[in-house]
Each structure stands twice: as structure tokens, then as C-alpha cells.
Structure 1
Amino acid sequence: MLQDVAGVLPGHDFASARAGVEMALIDAVANSIRIPLWRLFGGASDSVTTDITIPIVTPNEAAQLAAKYRGQGFQTLKLKVGKNLNSDIEVLKAIRLVHPDCSFILDANEGYTANQAIEVLHKLNEMGVTPVLFEQPVHRDDWEGLHDVSTVAMEKYKVAVAADESCRSLLDAQKIIHGNLAHVINIKLAKLGVLGALEIIDAARKANVALMIGGMVETRIAMGFAGHLAAGLGCFSFVDLDTPLLLSEDPVYGGYEAFGPLYKFSNARGHGGFLHLDNDGSK
């Protein structure tokens, strides 16, 4: 049945719709056999620890957010960068003052040229800052630039580079793997569909390429499913499932318990999350 979904909703353009249908069907299977999704996906763990994102804001605003997240127990901060190189550096300096021990993931969202991305790494090195990951530094179709940044990042600065927008299919993943174009592949279910994601996860694991799991701007329905998958498989080096924490209102209850950066999957079967049925949030 899942293969039929891929036939009806093929390709990247329908990936998010395909992912939604696949999630519902897989959740139904887990419910029918009365096990939680994380067990269905392998049972490696019943929890994951996520980073949290600081958007492109002023240095003062970034520092306020970093201090807040430090108080909540977040150790890894994901910074959106790529609009202005000098501003990005100032934001990093401001965050370091209030959360000096945090780990950084930089997400350029295709915003730099290869030379700019390498310059960022050079300036960070001068500051004594080594990001744990540099995500999608160049345009998704700039394969040569991605390779160049990945090579310099690892050989000179020991920084891993992740392909996100550059990997939208199994063919893209195979190109990245065989060409050594990046060290990490970012898996997003809304970008790939569930079955498509599992194919890429399998290919990356066989090639010893590290994995990250992320998402779009999603509620805990989709993020919870991705979290169950990540916990169950236990193969993700980087977890970026924070968007439900950033929403002004959460339209979903259940699915997992959040303790700062820790998502704990305590439900008895399936996904465990449900939409609020009325405005006051009652069940």
C-alpha cells in the first residue's frame, strides 16, 4: 500500500503530501499491533535530544534567546546565517558571551558562495569557535561549491558539512555519497516522504555517511513522527526537531513529553499525538 502512495504522489513536488499519507498508514499499523512507533522503527531508544534554532536577528536579540535556551537546558544552538557575513559573526560573538559552552550548528540555507562559507569558517577559527556542523552552505545545485567547502571544512577546520536542500531524492543522496560532496545528509520527511527517507537512510548507513534529522515548520504531529523514527533507528548524529517549541500555539497534545531539549516517547502505541478538538484545548 505504501508503494502505491509513492506511485500516486511521485517526486519531490508531492513529498510533503506523500509523507502525510505514509505517516498515517504507518501509524495505523503501529496502533493495530499495539506498539509505539519508536518500537516499530527498531526500538533503539525511547527518546531523542534536539537542538534549538536562533533565527536571523540582531546580536542583542540572539543573546537574549541564547540565555533563555541555556536556562532551559539546550546545549546545541542552530544558527540561521547567510544573509550578511559580518552580521553573522557579530551574532556568534554575542551568543558566546551568554552561553560560552554551547555547541553551534550553522545553517546557511544556501546563502553563501563557497568562498564566503570558507571565510566564515576562517573567522570562527580565529575566534576559537568550531561549529559541530555547517549545514547547506551553498546553493543546492552548486555541487562543486559544496565539495570545495566540505573539503576545506574538514581538512583545515575539522568541521562536518551537511547537505540539506541539495538532497531531495535518492539520486541526490547517491551523488553526494559517491562524490564525497558532504559528510552528513539531512533527512526531512516532508522533503522526502517516509519511504524515500528510509531509502536514503539505508544508503547513507551502508556508506558510513552520517545522518541528521530535521523538518520544516511543523507541529508535533510531524515532528513527533520524525522523533519516533530517529529514536527507533538510533542512527542520527544530529537531531533538529525543535519547531513545535517555537510555535506560538501548539495545536497538538500527546505524541511525546518535552523536557527542555529532551523528547520522551511514553505513549503505549502508535504516534500518540492528537489535534485539539476545540479552542480551549480540551480532549
Structure 2
Amino acid sequence: MASSLLSSPALLPFSSSSSSSSSFLLHLRIPTTTSSKLRILSTHATNVELIADPPTPSSQRLSFGFQNVADTFWVNVQRAEGRPLSIGLNSPLHFGNSKLETLNNVAIRVELSNGCVGWGEVQVLPSVTDVTLEMALAKAQEVCNFLLRTPPATLTSVFDDVTALLSPREFAPIRAGVEMALIDAVANSISVPLWRLFGGVTSTLTTVITVPILSPEEASILASKYYNQGFETLKLVVGKNFAAEIAAIEAIHAAQPCCSFMFDANEGYTPDEAIKFLEKLKDVGIVPLVFEQPVDRDDWKGLHEVSNVARTYGIPVAVDESCRSLTDVWKIIDKNLVDAINIKLPKFGVLGALEIINLARKSGLILMVDSMAETRLATGFAGHLAAGVGCFKYIVLDTPLLLAEDPVVGGYEASGAVYKFNNARGQGGFLNWNLLPDAGGLP
């Protein structure tokens, strides 16, 4: 009788006290959102008492507790495989001094013994990590084969083993893809969307969109197109040609004066050039939301100099390439080097990103989440995570908008700059696996 009133009675903590051989009292403690009373139900043989807990904050009600799930859910992998995922781009993507015209990643599919499937994506950027597609496929399959041989264990234990296999920094994108797939499979198993698993703060995000290096006229036209589609914040790539970049920024500002800006120098400036850039922005009346990676990743002194000048203008400086480990985060906090950190899952893995998020929360650092060269599989996962934890000030998950096609079925809903995570469980997206070549069929 009580079970008809409870959505998941098996998951509720309970205690029982035997009053006789033919009857007992069962206490079921039920979390509530109001202080309304609950009826006491009884039968001839059994008394069931429903006890209402005090109301809990909405963020706690919606969170299933990722760490608790990882520590208690036992994973038994029945199938695991990595396959090439090749997608064209509408226009080249620039990463530092390199240019990407085709996305060549690795898709990961993990199936558990309960039939639930999880999906992950390994970003492959040889110019950034020195890991080629062939190397990524081989390493991903090595981990998949390991998962198939591993006896059932808690998700936390499996994570430890995966980390041991993929400990070098250059394998972080592979570790991220495998972690995504495992977490997605577990979330599907317990019928929970990822954003709830990671904290349940919100199911909606608004993304920034990137404007590449273009002439002033081209940049103005593209920016107006994006603004009319609902993108109110533009991220502009700078750091190559100071005069041309300022001209493009002024043209965009003139065409769309209500647009907000973020600037990413991709390590392109010297400290003096970066400071000059900030001074010029002040002259033309533009205050960006953030100025990302203005100088070389290893120039910590120059980074601090630029950050101190930027603070006088009310502009936070963010690090991307300079932040490669938890040690770097500690250094940034200890020396007060910058005000923001850009988190990319392929750089740190999912677990590493969660560590940095917790540390940043305690220190007051501003958090950004960004994508590099990924489909909606990876950006969907990152979006769920950012929505769930709810502490990211800037969201830049726009790469799928720049792809020539979308290989992902389902997943989040995109309406202009707004992403809605309405799926019932997991990250919600998947690939037509049979349409992808096996590991031997490289593009």
C-alpha cells in the first residue's frame, strides 16, 4: 500500500521494529518540499508510518550526489570500443599557431551488463597534445579492453584503474572520453540526467560564440548575424595583428553596440603588447568581460603584470594554456596571478575538472567552461556538468555550431545561444554506431 505512494521506495532509508511475530512497525523517512503532514497507513498485520523530513533547498533536492554514486554503484562492463569520428568544419578553427580544418576525434561507447550504454568523446589535436589519431585510437582500445577484463567494481575503483593507465598529461583527452562514457552509462542506469547527478542547479545554459580572425567588414557582418540569432556575448580571437584586431573590434562595436565581448589572445601577445591592447580598449570605450591567456603559457611574471593592469580597468584575466594541472591552480591562487580559470575537460579529464571546480569555489576564482574541437557528445557532457554545479560564470560551448554536420542523435536542445538539457537520463545524446568505421578504418 505504501509503495504505491512512493516513486522509489527501495532507495529510501528505513528502519523496522518487530512488535510481534505477526506485525511490525516500518518507518519510511520521506524528503518533502513543504511542511504538510502525511497520513499514517496501517493494515491488520503491518503498521507503516510515513515521516516527513523538513523542506530542503532546491539545489539539494535535485542533486543525486556524484561522489556517492561513484562510491556505491558497481560497474560491470560488457562491451567497450573506440571508433574514429570525423566531421568537417564550416571554417577553420585556430589553436595558437595551428589551424584545424577537419575534426578527427575518437568516439567511445561503453555498455554495462544491465544493457545501459554510455558515450564519450576523445578530442584529438596533435598540435596541442602530440597525440595522433592512431595513437588515441590504440590507447582508447587498450583501456576498453581493460574494462572488459575488469571484474565488477565500484565506479570510483574503475576510475582509479583508468587513471593509472592514462596518467601522462598527454593522455588526458583519452581519460576524459572514457570517464564521460562510464559516467553516462551509470547515469542511464539510475535514470538520472547528468546535470542532476552533478548538482542539479539548473537545466539551462547560455553560451558565448566565437568570432575568428577576420577583416573588420567580415567580422562586423558575422557578429551581426550571431547577435540576431540570440548570441549577446562574442568571443574574439586576438593576439596576431594588433592594429587589424582593434579595427575589427571597433567595427563590431559600431554595428552591435549592445554586444558584450570576451577576448582570447591564445598566448599571442608579449606583456607590453597585452597592456597596450588593454589601453586601446579603454580609449575606445570597450570593457570586455574577460581577457584570456594574453601571454605565453610559461610567462607567469608577464601574466601577473598584465593581470594587475587589467584589474585597474575592471577586467578579469583568465588562464587557459597556463593552467595544465592542479599544481598550476594552487600557484595561481597562492600568488593571486589572475582572476579566472578556463576549464576544458580534455585538458583535465572529468575528475580533474571536478577537483579544480571545488578548489576554485573555495578560493573565489571565476570559472569558465570551454570546448575546443568536439561534437555535441563532449560539449553536451560539459554543458550538463556546468549546469549541474552552477558555478561557471562564462560558458563557451560553441564548437558544434561551427561543424558542417551534427552526428549526434538527441542530446541537448539548442535555441540560439540557449542550451536546454531536457533529457530524462544521462547526457541524452548518442551516435549511429554502425555508421562509424571501426578502428581499422581511419579517415
- Give yes or no for TM over 0.5: yes
Q: Does 1:258 align with 2:443?
A: no
Match of 1:117 among 274, 278, 302: 274
| Structure 2: runs of 5+ lacking an equivalent | 1-157, 436-443
Match of 1:106 among 243, 255, 263: 263
TM-score, normalising length: structure 2: 0.62
Shift of 1:278: 7.3
1:76 aligns to what?
233
1:193 aligns to what?
349
2:245, 2:184 → 1: CA distance? 41
1:46 aligns to what?
203
Which secondary structure does the structure 1 equivalent of 2:281 belong to? helix
AA in 1 matched with 2:166 = L
1:7 aligns to what?
164
AA in 1 matched with 2:232 = Q
The structure in which a higher percent of residues are helix is 1
Q: Does 1:131 align with 2:284?
A: no
1:70, 1:238 → 2: CA distance? 17
1:209, 1:222 → 2: CA distance? 24
Match of 1:243 among 399, 411, 416: 399
TM-score, normalising length: structure 1: 0.96
Shift of 1:84: 0.7
Q: Which structure has the higher relative contact order (CA within 8 Å, separation 6+)?
A: 1
Number of residue equivalences: 278
2:217, 2:162 → 1: CA distance? 47
**Segments ≥4 residues shifted beyond 2 Å:** 276-279
1:240, 1:3 → 2: CA distance? 30
| Structure 1: runs of 5+ lacking an equivalent | none
Measured on the aligned residues, the alpha-carbon RMSD in Å equals: 1.0
> Residues 128 and 209 from structure 1, CA distance in 2 versus in 1: closer, same or farther, beyond 3 angstroms?
same
Which secondary structure does the structure 1 equivalent of 2:218 belong to? helix
2:241, 2:183 → 1: CA distance? 42
Shift of 1:277: 5.1
Which secondary structure does the structure 2 equivalent of 1:193 belong to? helix
Q: Does 1:218 align with 2:374?
A: yes
Q: Deviations over 1:60-106 (max 9, x none)?
A: 11111101001101010000000011111001011112211111000
Shift of 1:253: 2.1
2:217, 2:360 → 1: CA distance? 39
2:199, 2:367 → 1: CA distance? 16
Which secondary structure does the structure 1 equivalent of 2:304 belong to? helix
1:273 aligns to what?
429
User: % of aligned pairs identical?
Assistant: 62
Q: Deviations over 1:91-135 (max 9, x none)?
A: 101111221111100000000011111111100100000001000
Q: Deviations over 1:126-167 (max 9, x none)?
A: 00000010000001000001111111101x211000010011
2:404, 2:257 → 1: CA distance? 28
Q: Does 1:33 align with 2:187?
A: no
The structure in which a higher percent of residues are strand is 2
> Residues 94 and 132 from structure 1, CA distance in 2 versus in 1: closer, same or farther, beyond 3 angstroms?
same
1:168 aligns to what?
324
Shift of 1:251: 1.2
Match of 1:149 among 284, 306, 315: 306
1:232, 1:274 → 2: CA distance? 20
1:131, 1:254 → 2: CA distance? 34
